[in-house]
Amino acid sequence: MKLLDGMTAIITGAASPRGLGKATAQLFAQHGARVAILDLDADEAAEAAADLPGDGHTSGVCDVTDKAACDTVVADIIAQWGQVDVLVNNAGITQPLQLMEITPHNYDAVLDVNLRGTLYMSQAVIPHMRSRGQGSIVNMSSVSAQRGGGIFGGPHYSAAKAGILGLTKAMARELAPAGVRSNAICPGFIATDITAGKLTDAMRAQVLAGIPMGRAGTADDVAGCALFLASNLSAYVTGSEVDVNGGSLIH
């Protein structure tokens, strides 16, 4: 059963081979979706799109902190496909800084890509989704938003990802009457390119000790949750935050 047959999806920050966005794009394509991969590098985005199973996929360059760029690329995709059913706001950056190390530049960079980018891309697709009376927006938050860090990103990363949770719920409340859903995923410790090689053995052991399932998550673990939220299996789910963390927040 292909859960996204006939549907189209835009996924931001999806060119990294071992990233959450690429894994999500792969799974969406396997389930019948046409996928548009957006990233900062044109060649990397095109290569990632060409690697997807099935036909009709596309790619584009987009700096999600640039509202005009978001509007333009979404308009181009709508013109090409005639519809956008799903937006996955995956683009994000992190910095492993402590509180007093965060400079204005650090704060702006992390808040802009993670939080401002989620807003701008959502604003770009919402009029189209509203006009069709349907659509699913999936935002990537983090367990760091819920527990105040403690894994990899600094306090400004926790703040940005917590902002995404508030934005997700506010969007859900406003858009639900139009048939547009908005949900967030909160991954825990996931083995991706962002953390590869940046954790000492001691840091990794400490993180794993706090995960009841005893292992790091994979990009595919997060992609499976995104597939659920994108598909009609979650037709009555909006304003939710879904934990994908191996039990890290069990109290």
Say which of 107, 120, 157, 236 is annotated catalytic. Answer: 157
Maximum CA pair distance of the chain? 52
> In DSSP terms, which residues pair with 181 in a beta bridge?
136
Alpha-carbon gap, residue 25 to 7, rounded angstroms: 13
Instruction: Take residue 109 and report the two structure tokens written for it.
Output: 């960079």
Sheet holding 241-244, edge to edge: 58-61, 34-39, 8-12, 86-89, 135-140, 180-187, 241-244
* Burial class of residue 132, CB neighbours in 10 A (0-12, 13-18, 19+): middle
Q: Based on the residue annotation, tell me whether 157 is a catalytic residue of this protein.
A: yes
Nearest to 45 by CA among 63, 30, 68: 63
Q: Are 152 and 93 in contact (CB under 8 A)?
A: no
Catalytic residue IDs: 157
